[in-house]
Structure 1
Amino acid sequence: MAADLTDEAVLNKLWRIRRTVFEMGHDRGFLVTKDELDQTLQEFKDLFGDAPSAQRPMRSDLNMLLTHDDDDTNRMLVFFFDEPKIGVATVNSFTNRMRDENIRHAIIVSQAGLTTAAKRALLALKNSDNFDVEQFLEIELMVNITQHELVPEHVLQTEAEKQALFAKYNLKPELMMILLTTDPVARYYGFKPGQVVKIIRLSETAGRSASYRVVRKPQ
Structure 2
Amino acid sequence: MRLYRVRKTVMQMLKDRDYLIVDHDLNMTMLQFKNKHGENMKREDRTINRRKRDDKSDQIYVFFPDEPKVGAKTMKSCITRMNQENLIRAILAVQQNLSPFAETSISEMGSKYHLEIFQETELLVNIKEHVLVPEHRFLTNEEKKTCWRVWAYFLPLIQLIDPIARYYGLKRGQVVKIIRPSETAGRYVTYRYVIQVQQQKPGLH
TM above 0.5: yes
Alpha-carbon RMSD across the aligned residues, in angstroms, is 1.5
Question: 5 Å matches for 1:161-200?
Answer: 161-166=143-148, 171-200=150-179
Q: Name the structure 2 match of 1:69.
A: 53
Measured after TM superposition, the shift of residue 203 of structure 1 is 3.2
Q: State the partner residue of 2:197.
A: 218
Does the residue aligned with 1:171 lie in a helix, a strand or coil?
helix
- 1:117 alignment partner AA: F
1:23 to 12, 23, 32: 12
Residue from 106, 128, 144 that aligns with 1:146: 128
Return 5+ residue gaps in structure 2 as ranges: 199-205
The equivalences for 1:35-74 within 5 A come to: 35-49=24-38, 51-52=39-40, 56-57=41-42, 59-74=43-58
Correspondence list, 1:6-21, <5 A: 12-21=1-10
Which residue matches 1:108? 92
Corresponding position of 2:201: none
Q: How many corresponding residue pairs?
A: 198
Q: CA deviation at 1:206?
A: 5.6
The secondary structure found in structure 1 opposite 2:57 is coil
SS at match of 1:46: helix
Gaps of 5+ in 1: 1-11
- Per the alignment, residue 160 of structure 1 pairs with 142
Partner Cα distance (1:28, 1:34) in 2: 15
The residue matched to 2:180 in structure 1 has which SS? strand
Stretch of structure 1 that moved more, 202-211 or 140-149: 202-211
Matched, 1:96 2:80: yes
- Shift in Å, 1:163: 2.8
| Percent of matched pairs sharing the same residue | 40
| In structure 1, C-alpha distance between the alignment counterparts of 2:110 and 2:121, rounded to whole Å | 24
Q: CA deviation at 1:164?
A: 4.2
Partner deviation per Cα, 1:119-155 (whole Å, 9 max, x = no partner): 001111222xx10111100000011111112101111
Q: Runs of at least 4 residues of structure 1 off by over 2 A?
A: 163-166, 203-207
Mapped to 1, the partners of 2:83 and 2:91 lie a distance apart of: 15
